Structure formats: structure tokens, C-alpha cells
Amino acid sequence: MTNTIKEIMEQFRDFTDGTRMIMLIQRNKEGGASNNPDRVAKRRISNNTEEFTKILADFLEIKKDFPDKQLRIYSAVNRRNFNKGIREFKRQQLEADYYDEESKRRFYLDIKNRWLSSLMKPSSRAETFFLIDCDDLTRKTIGKAIDEVDTITDVVLHYKTKNGYHIITKPFNPNLFDKTIGEIKKDALLLLDF
């Protein structure tokens, strides 16, 4: 397990600092629907690389206990701005004051998830990286895709996923992008482990 932690921390070293959400989830199409009582889903916030490492280790340990669940560990590609998250949460809270009584009650009974959701809103990000999800690329074609993306922006990181590749870039004009390469996501999740 220690080697896995070291490998992940090394590969994603530029994406472990600052405020970030880390998630251990089972995707809906792999049995993790929110109405499934056996669903495994955990979300935690790290504020620095040391906390990120500890949360990652905890989630890898939990993942090991559920080998049949196809759990994945994700992290926000963009650091989060805590104060912007607070502002978004307060906006949602003010709106909730005008909900019907049952909806208002549900809001306050689910306060932790509302806070985490506020922090993950695109308006709460502290930086901007794009993630290009390339599910149809093979080892043979990923090099060409990276070269093409590199002509319009800086490629920061690329890595293999379960079904293809992710390319992390600095922001760029999406109109310059060949959409046959993959889908651009402007505030996505890094797949750390699957």
C-alpha cells in the first residue's frame, strides 16, 4: 500500500496542495446509485499535501476492504477557494429561507453535503486547469493527441485511466480544439486510483 501512495503522490504532486476535495466513490453505472443502501461514498477536504496524503491512505485502506465494489478515488483538479465556497454556501442558505418548510428542513438536515457542494461549485475554484477525457484513445494514439493539444496550450499532465487517458492542460480557447480527441472538462476530477 505504501508504494501505491508514493506513486500516486509523485504522479499528482502538482495537484495535492491547497484546499481540495478527495472522494472515494462507486460510480452509478458500477452499482453506486444514491438510492443503493450498499453504496460506498466518502468525501473529505484536505488543506495541504500532508493532509492529502493521509486522506489518500485512509481511502486506499477503505477501498481494500471492498474489493467487489469497484471503488474509485478522485480529487479536484482545481484547488478550491475556501472564502468563495463560504460565499456560495451563504447564497444557498439565504435561498433556503424562502423554500417551503419541508425543503428548508431537508436543506438544514443535509448541511454538510450542502457545504461540500458549495465548495465544489466552479465559482469556488482557486485556479483553472482543463481536463480532456480521452476514452477512445489507445497507447498508440495518445502521443499524437498530446502533440496536437500541445500546439494550442501547455499540457501539464497526462495519465492512463480505466478506459483511456486524461490530459490536464492550462486553460485555452475550446474552439481551437479537435473534439475527436476527447471531451473538455473545465472543473473536473482527477482519477487517482481505480
Residue written as grid cell 479536484: 76
Predicted local confidence at residue 112, as pLDDT: 94
Determine contact, residues 129/186, Cβ cutoff 8 Å: no
Q: What is the CA radius of gyration of the chain?
A: 18
45 pLDDT tier (thresholds 50, 70, 90): very high
Q: Is the pLDDT of residue 138 over 90?
A: no
* Amino acid identity for residue 127 in this structure: E
What is the 3-class SS of the chain, one letter each residue?
Answer: CHHHHHHHHHHCHHHCCCEEEEEEECCHHHCCCCCCCCCCEEEEEECCHHHHHHHHHHHHHHHHCCCCCCCEEEEECCCECHHHHHHHHHHHHHHHCCCCHHHHHHHHHCHHHHHHHHHHCHHHECCCCEEEEECCCCHHHHHHHHHHHHCCCCEEEEEECCCCEEEEECCCCHHHCCCCCCEEECCCEEEEEC
Predicted local confidence at residue 137, as pLDDT: 67
The tens digit of pLDDT for each residue in 145-169 reads 888 888 889 999 999 998 889 999 9
**Mean pLDDT (the chain, rounded):** 90
Predicted local confidence at residue 131, as pLDDT: 95
Q: Is the pLDDT of residue 33 over 80?
A: no
149 compared with 33, residue with greater pLDDT: 149
Predicted local confidence at residue 71, as pLDDT: 94
Predicted local confidence at residue 114, as pLDDT: 95
Residue written as grid cell 443503493: 36
Give the closest residue to 90 by CA, choosing from 68, 63, 119.
119
Q: Is the pLDDT of residue 187 over 80?
A: yes
Domain ranges of the chain: 2-76, 82-124, 130-187
Q: Is the pLDDT of residue 2 over 60?
A: yes
Distance between CA 158 and CA 82 in Å, rounded? Answer: 27
Longest dimension (CA), the chain: 57
The tens digit of pLDDT for each residue in 82-126 reads 999 999 999 999 999 999 999 999 999 999 999 999 999 999 999
